[in-house]
Amino acid sequence: MQSKTADAVKPLWIVLSIIICVLVLRQLVHQSMFFDGAIYASIARNLAGGAGSPWRLQFSETLFSIFAEHPPLMMWLEAIAFRLFGDTIAVEKCFSLMTLVASGFILLKIWRRLHVNDQDIRAAGPLALIMALVAGRVSWGFTNGMLENLLIVFTSLAIYCVVIAYGGTGAKSVALRSVLMVAAGILVALALMTKGLVGLFPLATPGIWWLAFRRQTLVSVIFDTLVMTATVAAFFAALWQLDDARDAIQRYLSIQLVPSLTGQRGSGGGNWNAVRAFVRVNAYPAILTLIVLLCDRRWGSRPELPRDIKQARRQTAVFLVLVGFSASLPLLVSPRVASFYFNPSLAYFSSAFAIASAPAVIRSLTALNETSSRRLLLGLIAALALSIILVGFNIGRPGADAETIANATRISDRVCPTTEGCERVVTVCGAAAEDWALYGYLQRRYKISLATADVAKGKYMVADDSCSVDASYRDTGLNLSKYRLLQR
């Protein structure tokens, strides 16, 4: 039966591969990248080249000359990659791909550990990953080098440590549990070093395990939570002893965290906007699960399961849902929320949806006769081949930001004709002053900084028709979309 189930889920692995190609790789191989990802890559490249320092990161000479918007860990790791492989766009693209692979591997390990005694559901791991990739902005995050990608890696590893400590057969010794909790605490600290307080949610995992399974004593759960918390506190207490680290933490708190929590920065946050975003990001897995269950109810045959299996599946689903809520509930009350902020929670909600739909999917695949199974596999393999060809066709294409990339290239060719005769700071006004993608591509690709007209008036200015331009500037006639390049 186990071998038959393993054969039955092969189509799910192929479907997962197709989804990765179409939703992630097809866009990841483009030149385009969301502004946030371009900032992180630029900072990492600059750090690798000696601009800025580990605790005083620098995006450009003008915008974020001291970057305090986020903790520095992801930029540090990317900087190591730039030191190893040089200044190439492949670095940030491959780094993002590595976070995808690592996240998928860890989440699959969590899934299999949770279902160690339920072989049918255990084999449906690829279905859980499919649900996660189609949820919300998860695939988009991996195509754009977002901080949430690395946050998923560290928080999932922390949760996996707790699952190892509590799951499986046989009770773990206090010493082994404590080691695992210390490891989980270190991983939570690394999550905090990646994107701040949103990385704290794995601290709730021992308590959530107790609520869902009741296999541990409340005293041991409280002790383990305290061990994790003490590890995080010790980590940051040690950092606080370093002058540069302490200054960086204080800058982050005063410039980013406190203003964000008090609503002074950002928009589209809290209240019903956050609730609507939460519903929206979970919509696709919920709809897929509903379709599967309705089809199973209409055409499927649902065997009666032993009571212990049904209870175990229900408890595991509750555990996953509660972990998802521990990651997302703080966002629902935050004054600053974007849909991709929910990405770290979506793998757990999606896994709960997968528990509900997996039995019907596995039964349907197992029920296929040899001919139907072969035809399905051949069809999916053909679709996978087409997906790979599609990815290959898209390698190196400009992508969604083709117009901005072209503008950046033309501006660079004009203001930096040679290395010696290069204007590294260009003035901007009007819409160009808020064209964050233009800031990103000029810095990432050409190390050119943009400064608003009230800050600096350089030799060149990128302007539009709304600008009141100094009479000393003349139009260069450069062919730019939306803007004009002026020169003194």
The predicted-structure confidence for 153-183, as pLDDT tens digits, reads as follows 999 999 999 999 998 766 678 889 999 999 9
Confidence (pLDDT) at 269: 58
**Stretch 239-265: mean pLDDT:** 89
Write the DSSP symbol of residue 204.
G
Secondary structure of residue 62 in the 3-state scheme: coil
Question: In this prediction, what percent of the chain has a pLDDT beyond 90?
Answer: 77
What's the CA dihedral at 359, 365, 367, 368 to 10 degrees? 170
Question: In this prediction, what percent of the chain has a pLDDT beyond 70?
Answer: 97
User: Could you give the C-alpha distances from 357 to 81, 202, 295, 354, in angstroms and in order?
Assistant: 40, 26, 11, 5
Give me the half-sphere count of Cα atoms (radius 13 Å) on the Cβ side of residue 368.
21
Confidence (pLDDT) at 259: 85
CB burial readout 3-25, b (16+ within 10 A) else e:
eebeebbebbbbbbbbbbbbbbb
- Residue 434 identity: E
**Stretch 50-75: mean pLDDT:** 94
Q: How confident is the model at residue 306 (pLDDT cuts 50, 70, 90)?
A: confident
Confidence (pLDDT) at 272: 79
- Residue 279 identity: V
| pLDDT per residue as tens digits for the range 324-341 | 999 999 888 777 788 999
Confidence (pLDDT) at 270: 60
Confidence (pLDDT) at 483: 93
Residue 267 clears pLDDT 70, i.e. is over it? no
Q: How confident is the model at residue 468 (pLDDT cuts 50, 70, 90)?
A: confident
Confidence (pLDDT) at 274: 85
CB burial readout 104-116, b (16+ within 10 A) else e:
bebbebbbeebbe
Confidence (pLDDT) at 170: 61
Tell me the average pLDDT of the chain: 92
Distance (Å, rounded) from C-alpha 84 to C-alpha 166? 39
Residue 416 clears pLDDT 60, i.e. is over it? yes
Question: Which of 92-101, 169-178, 267-276 comes out lowest in average pLDDT?
Answer: 267-276
Confidence (pLDDT) at 337: 84
Residue 343 clears pLDDT 90, i.e. is over it? yes
Confidence (pLDDT) at 262: 76
Confidence (pLDDT) at 261: 78
> Is 99 in contact with 321 (CB distance < 8 Å)?
no
**Stretch 138-155: mean pLDDT:** 97
Give the predicted TM-score (pTM) of the model.
0.94
Residue 276 clears pLDDT 70, i.e. is over it? yes
Tokens of 474: 């003349």
Confidence (pLDDT) at 307: 85
Confidence (pLDDT) at 308: 85
Residue 212 clears pLDDT 60, i.e. is over it? yes
Q: How confident is the model at residue 118 (pLDDT cuts 50, 70, 90)?
A: confident
- Residue 395 identity: I
Query: In DSSP terms, which residues pair with 452 in a beta bridge?
Result: 428
Residue 112 clears pLDDT 90, i.e. is over it? yes
**Stretch 272-290: mean pLDDT:** 92
Residue 285 clears pLDDT 60, i.e. is over it? yes
Residue 344 clears pLDDT 60, i.e. is over it? yes
